[in-house]
Structures are given as structure tokens and as C-alpha cells.
């Protein structure tokens, strides 16, 4: 009789997992996934899991989506990769042509990288070099919001603001101007995000008055600060940012790595504000979660500042080996094939109303639920020690992590952000699955809070 391999033990022998304290794995062994279908994952023992966090927010249209899978299978027999300097391929050209028709106005030049953090680095470098070549060498600083997350390379960490990821590395990081981010749950002005005038924008105004002249770019996660705890803020804030960036000749960089491709109910989060950034970083949903790829999209004006004879030294000397990878482009084109008629996004918008109403009905009245917030299919439940004062639980209790462990036992992947339980499912999730995952989340939350 053939012995069943202990895959979890083999994993622990070799693999150092990301964003993990490996000592936790002594108690909670790695869950080794065998296959997936739709929003479901199945481990090597046959247990089914509901992936309602889209495997780190990238699985847009379900695991093993037949349209995307077939596109990659076809592509792998035609061209797996080609150097992207002086060479190109039809898949990349077609992808850029299609995206140019649906992106916010003015975004028309595409620079490929191989992951989200790399596209952020690309944007920062491009902005810096642009200003230098446009006769503004004094513009050497960057602005970002507090509690921001933009990735984990050094430049991306520098403009990020979540200490969990960056605190220990601060001696290595760039000096960045921090703008106090909107905090609609704990609004110091006593306003609500649905009808406020973004009074909190005064922090940005003061920062621009003090540092605008020397600032190259302001980078934001539009409308949804993900790793900060799925913090949602109004579109008006983006409109005000656009205006003040124009006033001070500062680039506005949109980090739509997590918010793009329908996550906020529109194709891109900036669509809610009806304004355009100068640069937009795309990844995650770009390939439906299939392949590592990112794109920085920018304007003709920025592109033109680099266009000159080679010996002028104005070229943008930034590259990645897998830039424009044909397999990734085939996946990205398949995603657009699925989404181009609008039916997926329309259904997701309708289901988003149902999803949020259900979560509000189940969770809002619990004594330790401070706020239920949502945008698109993204829903977040912030747990607090005291509902009136909005005081948080002590971090050492790891309240959210305890809920996560219980939910795993029942086959639901929650993976909270601190004590914020959230849902960020594939756009194809149906209402029956919404009912189930919210019931499990509620049951596990009550069990942990009761203890």
C-alpha cells in the first residue's frame, strides 16, 4: 500500500512563507492546496475552502477560469517569452490598445513590469526623472498618505506607512512627506463619508504649502486603503488631490494594483471621481491572478520628456527580465475578453448591494463591531473593544487571527487585517456563497468575542 505523503511537513522543511511568523505554523500547519475551481480551493485531503479574499486580492474571475486557462495553454505553444527591448509581440500590443480605450482619460503609454511593487518603483523613478529633465531638479521628494501600503521593495516601503511592514527598515528608506489620511470611522470632524466635504483635506493643503515646490509626486491608493484595514474614503478627496497637484506641478500616482478591475464597483477606482491621475499602476486583477505582471500607464506629456536622441541621456533606463511576458499578456487579454461586455461587473454591482445589506444585518448590532464599511464587493468589519469610544482590542490578543483560525476549520478563508475582518471575493461570487461565508464569519466572530 502506497504511503500518503505528508505535504505539510515537507513544506515546513523547506519553505519560508511570506508575511508569516513561522512559529505560528507549529500550531496551524500550512494548508497544501491540490486544485481550485471558481471561488473554491481544495486541499490535498479533499477539504473545500471558500476563497473570499481572492488569494491576496488577485483572483478576479475564479480559480481555473476556463477562458483564461485556454488562452494561456494556446499561448505557451506559440511564444513563452521574448526580450521586450527592441522586440514586442501581438499580445502586448493588443492589450495596450484595449486598455487605452477604458482607462481614465489621458493615460496612453504603457511600461511593463513583473509585479505590483516593481510598478510602484517604476512610477517613482519616472516622476523623479521627468521633473529633472523638465527643468525642475528641485522636485526630489514624494508625498503619501499615512497608513498607506504600496508594496515591499525599498521605494515602495518608503511611500508606504504601515509600521508592521516598514518600521524596522526605516534607516534604509527615503524621507517621505506623510499626509494624514482620511479616517472616516474615527473622523475628528464628526462627519460621515457619505456627505462630508473632506474637511480632512486640510492636512494635504498644509503639506503642499510646506513641501509642494520640492515634491515630484503624490501617491495614493484611491478610495480604499487596503492593508490599513480596508479604510474607505470619498471620491471628493481624489478631486481635491487632482486640483492641488495641478497647482503645484506634482504628479498624481494612482496605485490601482488592488482597487482596479472592478473591485470598487467601477473598472478603476478613479472612475468614481471623474478625474485622471498622471500615472496608474495596475497588477493583481490585471491577469485574473494567473500570472505575475504589472503595468505603469502614463501620459503623452510624461512620455515626451524622455523622447530624445540616445546620446542626450534622457531614456528611461528601467527594465525587468519578464517585462511584457507573452503568457501574462494572454491572461490579461482573456480577462478583458470576459469583462468587455460589462455583464460581470454589472452582476457584481448588483450582488454588492445584497452582500453589504446581509453583512450589515448580521454584524452591525454586535457590541464589538465598530463599523461595517464597503465599496463594491469589498466589505470590512472593524472589531473594537468598546463601541462607544472606538477603542481597539489589545494587539497581543490577536482577536482577528483567532477568528481566522476558527473560520479555516469551517472552510472559509478570511485572513483579517489586524482586527478588521473583511471580504474581497472574486467578482463571480454568487449569493448562496455569500450567505454561507457570512454565516461562518458571524459564528466564528461570536465564538471568539464570547471568549
pLDDT digits (tens, 9 = 90+) for 69-123: 999 999 999 999 999 999 999 999 999 999 999 999 999 999 999 999 999 999 9
Residues of the chain with CATH 3.40.640.10: 69-339
Measured between alpha carbons, how far is 64 from 66 in angstroms, rounded to an integer? Answer: 6
Mean pLDDT of 402-424: 97
Measured between alpha carbons, how far is 173 from 249 in angstroms, rounded to an integer? Answer: 24
Q: Could you give the dihedral angle defined by the CA atoms of residues 158, 162, 168 and 171, in that order, rounded to the nearest 10 degrees? A: 30
Residues of the chain with CATH 3.90.1150.10: 7-64+342-450
pLDDT in tens, 178-204: 999 999 999 999 999 989 999 999 999
Q: Where are any strands of DSSP class E within 135-202? A: 141-145, 177-179
pLDDT of residue 329 exceeding 80: yes
| CATH architecture of the domain with range 7-64+342-450 | Alpha-Beta Complex (3.90)
pLDDT of residue 419 exceeding 90: yes
| CATH architecture of the domain with range 69-339 | 3-Layer(aba) Sandwich (3.40)
Q: Could you give the dihedral angle defined by the CA atoms of residues 383, 18, 14 and 293, in that order, rounded to the nearest 10 degrees? A: 130
Question: Residue 4 has what pLDDT?
Answer: 58
Amino acid at each position: 500500500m502506497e504511503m500518503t505523503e505528508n505535504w505539510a511537513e515537507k513544506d515546513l522543511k523547506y519553505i519560508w512563507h511570506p508575511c508569516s511568523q513561522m512559529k505560528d505554523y507549529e500550531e496551524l500547519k500550512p494548508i497544501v492546496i491540490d486544485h481550485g475551481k471558481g471561488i473554491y480551493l481544495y486541499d490535498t485531503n479533499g477539504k473545500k475552502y471558500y476563497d473570499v479574499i481572492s488569494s491576496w486580492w488577485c483572483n478576479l474571475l475564479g480559480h481555473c477560469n476556463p477562458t483564461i486557462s485556454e488562452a494561456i495553454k494556446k499561448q505557451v505553444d506559440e511564444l513563452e517569452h521574448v526580450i521586450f527591448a527592441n522586440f514586442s509581440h501581438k499580445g502586448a500590443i493588443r492589450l495596450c490598445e484595449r486598455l487605452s480605450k477604458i482607462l481614465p482619460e489621458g493615460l496612453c503609454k504603457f511600461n511593463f513590469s513583473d509585479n505590483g511593487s516593481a510598478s510602484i518603483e517604476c512610477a517613482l523613478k519616472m516622476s523623479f526623472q521627468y521633473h529633472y529633465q523638465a527643468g525642475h531638479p528641485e522636485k526630489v521628494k514624494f508625498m503619501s498618505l499615512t497608513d498607506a501600503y504600496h508594496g515591499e521593495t525599498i521605494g515602495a516601503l518608503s511611500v508606504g506607512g504601515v509600521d508592521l511592514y516598514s518600521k524596522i527598515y526605516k534607516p534604509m528608506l527615503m524621507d517621505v512627506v506623510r499626509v494624514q489620511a482620511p479616517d472616516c470611522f474615527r473622523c475628528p470632524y464628526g462627519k460621515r463619508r457619505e456627505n462630508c466635504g473632506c474637511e480632512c483635506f486640510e492636512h494635504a493643503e498644509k503639506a503642499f504649502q510646506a513641501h509642494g515646490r520640492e515634491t515630484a509626486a503624490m501617491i495614493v491608493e484611491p478610495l480604499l486603503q487596503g492593508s490599513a484595514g480596508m479604510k474607505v474614503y470619498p471620491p471628493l478627496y481624489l478631486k481635491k488631490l487632482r486640483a492641488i497637484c495641478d497647482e503645484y506641478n506634482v504628479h498624481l500616482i494612482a496605485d490601482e494594483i488592488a482597487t482596479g478591475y472592478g473591485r470598487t464597483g467601477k473598472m478603476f477606482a478613479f472612475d468614481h471621481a471623474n478625474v485622471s491621475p498622471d500615472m496608474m499602476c495596475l497588477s493583481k486583477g490585471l491577469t485574473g491572478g494567473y500570472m505575475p505582471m504589472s503595468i505603469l500607464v502614463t501620459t503623452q506629456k510624461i512620455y515626451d520628456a524622455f523622447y530624445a536622441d540616445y546620446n542626450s541621456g534622457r531614456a528611461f533606463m528601467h527594465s525587468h527580465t519578464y517585462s511584457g511576458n507573452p503568457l501574462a499578456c494572454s491572461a490579461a487579454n482573456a480577462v478583458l475578453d470576459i469583462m468587455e461586455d460589462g455583464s460581470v461587473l454589472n452582476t457584481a454591482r448588483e450582488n454588492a448591494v445584497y452582500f453589504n445589506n446581509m453583512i450589515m444585518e448580521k454584524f452591525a448590532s454586535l457590541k464589538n463591531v465598530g463599523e461595517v464599511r464597503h465599496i463594491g464587493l469589498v466589505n470590512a468589519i472593524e472589531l473594537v473593544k468598546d463601541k462607544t469610544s472606538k477603542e481597539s482590542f489589545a494587539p497581543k490578543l490577536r482577536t482577528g487571527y483567532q477568528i481566522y483560525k476558527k473560520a479555516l476549520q469551517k472552510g472559509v478563508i478570511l485572513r483579517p487585517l489586524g482586527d478588521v475582518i473583511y471580504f474581497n471575493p472574486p467578482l463571480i461570487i454568487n449569493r448562496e456563497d455569500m450567505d454561507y461565508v457570512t454565516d461562518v464569519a458571524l459564528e466564528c466572530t461570536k465564538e471568539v468575542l464570547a471568549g
